[in-house]
Amino acid sequence: MEIKHNTVVGLTYDLKVSKELDDIESEPFSVEVRDEDDPFFFLFGNSGLPEKFEEYLIGKKQGEGFLFTISSADAYGDADEELIMALPKSQFTAAQGFEPEMLEEGNFLPLMDENGYPLQAKVLKDLGDEVLLDFNHPLVGFDLHFEGEVFEVRAATAEEIAHGHVHGDHGFQH
């Protein structure tokens, strides 16, 4: 079966990123490796991933390799200053599952939006009674370099299509 809309796709890959600074592209460095023990699964056409990511994979079959680069503009774009905000430390209590060391600079806080969907924010600075958080995607501003292989392709179930995500061993358990 080939990758197309409403298929469940499993990938193994090495994701490297690079950034252009002063018209000089940095050397790509690895930020994520997904191997046969931990492949990445998603519902094609409803992944929430950059469009170019799916464009480069459409039509590929199980066992096929891939190698492509997505520019930052086609990936997660540039940082949005409106997504950097100071919030009171009092919002991050032990009762809510937060430990003080989680608010240290450079850490990523696991959070949920108003609809209960998970998101994360990077701690930029301790401001005393407040903490400065960056809600931009962690890969904003980076070119993405993918090299990998299609691990599995199968038809999505009606339930997966209706729910918009993969179920079972490699997805959500309801």
Which of 115, 114, 89, 112 has the alpha carbon at shortest distance from 102? 89
Full-model pTM:
0.84
Please state which architecture CATH assigns to domain 81-134: Beta Barrel (2.40)
State how far Cα 104 lies from the chain centre. Answer: 22
pLDDT for the residue 174:
61
Residue 133 burial (CB count, 10 A): 22
Q: Where are the domains of the chain?
A: 7-77+140-170, 81-134
CATH of domain 7-77+140-170: 3.10.50.40
37-71: pLDDT as tens digits: 999 999 999 988 999 999 999 999 999 999 999 99
106-140: pLDDT as tens digits: 999 999 888 887 889 999 999 999 999 999 999 99
